């Protein structure tokens, strides 16, 4: 009976520590994101893509694409600013565990299992900017698809920073019916290569 009680106390203690760490990370990320309109611009873009792809009138569709190009430029500039701002954090604050489940303070005790989210956000900023410029001359439809993947993978990274990879992947599946692997496969080759070099060691 004493063993069961001890195990329960340990589980409760770990849960409380994990919740405390997650609240700290959510507050930290929120304090940086609060200076930007990234979420609002993302919503405008994703809704705009769907509206444009469903538009049958060619002239109207072309007008919507122009507006979406402008929104992409704003979003790219905003996220670039956020990534630069986040890069000012101390390295320890930006560490994220590669473990699928959240283990409280694991990144402080075992830095070898962690990666630097400052560098990951820099990869996302470059990826969003690259797709926005469209140097590869992708069609509007292909560009919209790839930009959506870049944005959703960036969103996944935000959730991973705050909670864990497993929670981030579950949220992505619930919100966008898209698996983590599908996102990684759908971003630009440059983003995929740089991203995996950081998170998949």
At 101-151, the pLDDT tens digits run 766 666 676 778 889 999 999 999 999 999 999 999 999 899 999 999 999
Collect all residues with Cβ–Cβ distance below 8 Å to 143 and sequence separation of at least 6.
131, 134
- CA–CA distance, 19 with 12 (Å, rounded to integer): 11
CA distance 88 to 94: 10
54-112 residue pLDDT tens: 878 888 888 888 899 999 999 999 999 999 999 999 998 999 988 877 666 666 767 78
Residue 174: pLDDT over 90: yes
Q: What pTM did the predictor assign?
A: 0.88
> 17 pLDDT band (50/70/90 cuts)?
low
Give CA–CA dist 201/184, Å, rounded: 15
Is residue 64 a contact partner of residue 45, using CB atoms and an 8 Å limit? no
């Amino acid at each position: 009976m004493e063993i069961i009680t001890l195990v329960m106390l340990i589980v409760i203690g770990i849960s409380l520590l994990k919740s405390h760490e997650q609240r700290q990370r959510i507050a930290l990320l929120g304090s940086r994101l609060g200076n930007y309109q990234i979420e609002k611009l993302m919503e405008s873009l994703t809704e705009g893509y769907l509206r444009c792809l469903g538009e049958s009138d060619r002239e109207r569709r072309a007008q919507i694409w122009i507006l979406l190009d402008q929104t992409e430029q704003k979003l790219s500039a905003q996220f670039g600013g956020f990534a630069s701002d986040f890069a000012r954090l101390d390295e320890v604050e930006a560490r994220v565990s590669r473990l699928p489940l959240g283990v409280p303070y694991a990144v402080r005790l075992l830095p070898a299992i962690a990666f630097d989210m400052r560098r990951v956000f820099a990869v996302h900023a470059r990826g969003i900017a690259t797709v926005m410029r469209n140097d590869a001359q992708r069609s509007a439809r292909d560009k919209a698809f790839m930009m959506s993947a870049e944005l959703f993978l960036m969103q996944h990274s935000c959730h991973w920073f705050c909670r864990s990879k497993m929670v981030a992947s579950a949220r992505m599946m619930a919100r966008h019916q898209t698996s983590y692997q599908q996102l990684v496969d759908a971003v630009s080759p440059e983003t995929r290569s740089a991203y995996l070099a950081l998170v998949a060691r």
